[in-house]
Amino acid sequence: MGSLLILGFLIGMRHALDADHLAAVAAISTQQNSIRSTIKHGLIWGLGHTTTLFLFGSMVIWMDTIIPEQLATYLELAVGFMLVALGLDVLRRVLKDRIHFHLHRHKNITAHFHAHSHSGESDHQQSNHQHSHDQKFPYRTLFIGFMHGMAGSAALILLTMETIDSLWAGLIYMLLFGIGSMLGMAIISAIIAIPLRASANGLTWMFNSLQIGIGLLTFGLGITIIIESMPI
């Protein structure tokens, strides 16, 4: 039994590498200005993913039933439309905002990069680069995690019911799966953030090119999921 629970944790880490998960978190990461912030959003996504996965899965297992195939299809469709929206939002920000980077420090804070937008400004030199660090809880990222958790619950519940007979073992399995996905996404988020810390020279075009690529890939993956999930 212990080996199955460990397997659940490892499968959860692998689950974070699914294409739709990577696309969503990559799109979110384009709005972050530091590795710490990117990792934070990756963890929050994982928290939302784990919460709905665990609650939804627990209810289904407790009732000894399965998720209707039609409902699972609609949830996948919702994820597809969400990815399309995320991809379009990334592309919209690239086209609308004139983003570039600055290396600076606040009082008693390590030097760091920040992306600045000068949309609508005629003179860059006159722009005020003073800013504050947003400490608001990322509810948008949490919601995206919720959506992914609901869409992925059907497959996980089926796998759990096929491998584990005990109710409590099944719940622990899903919890460890969720924790594994949180850790996996935090690691992936850090990897995504590394190019943004490369150097100040040439970072602006690199960042914008990366954003365009992520936006197009996210949009394309969303369209693919919609087509594959569309009821015939």
> Which residues, at least 6 apart from 139, have a Cβ–Cβ distance to it below 8 Å?
none
Which residue(s) pair with 116 in the sheet? 100
Answer yes or no: is pLDDT of 102 > 60: no
pLDDT band of residue 97 (cuts 50, 70, 90) is: low
Answer yes or no: is pLDDT of 228 > 70: yes
Residue 129 is predicted with a pLDDT of 47
Q: 44-64, pLDDT tens digit by residue?
A: 998 988 888 888 777 777 776
Answer yes or no: is pLDDT of 105 > 60: no
Q: What is the mean predicted confidence (pLDDT) over 150-158? A: 69
* Closest to 21 (Cα-Cα) out of 158, 115, 129, 152: 152
Angle at 181 between CA 29 and CA 172, to 5 degrees: 150
Answer yes or no: is pLDDT of 147 > 60: yes
Angle at 90 between CA 87 and CA 94, to 5 degrees: 140
Q: What is the mean predicted confidence (pLDDT) over 201-227? A: 80
Q: Which two tokens stand for residue 229?
A: 């999930």
Answer yes or no: is pLDDT of 84 > 90: yes
Residue 126 is predicted with a pLDDT of 45
Any idea which residue has 């497959």 for tokens? Answer: 155
* Closest to 197 (Cα-Cα) out of 4, 25, 39, 75: 39
d(CA 91, CA 62): 43
pLDDT band of residue 88 (cuts 50, 70, 90) is: very high
Assessment of whether the complete model's pTM goes beyond 0.75: no
Contact 198/29 with Cβ under 8 angstroms? Answer: no
pLDDT band of residue 125 (cuts 50, 70, 90) is: very low
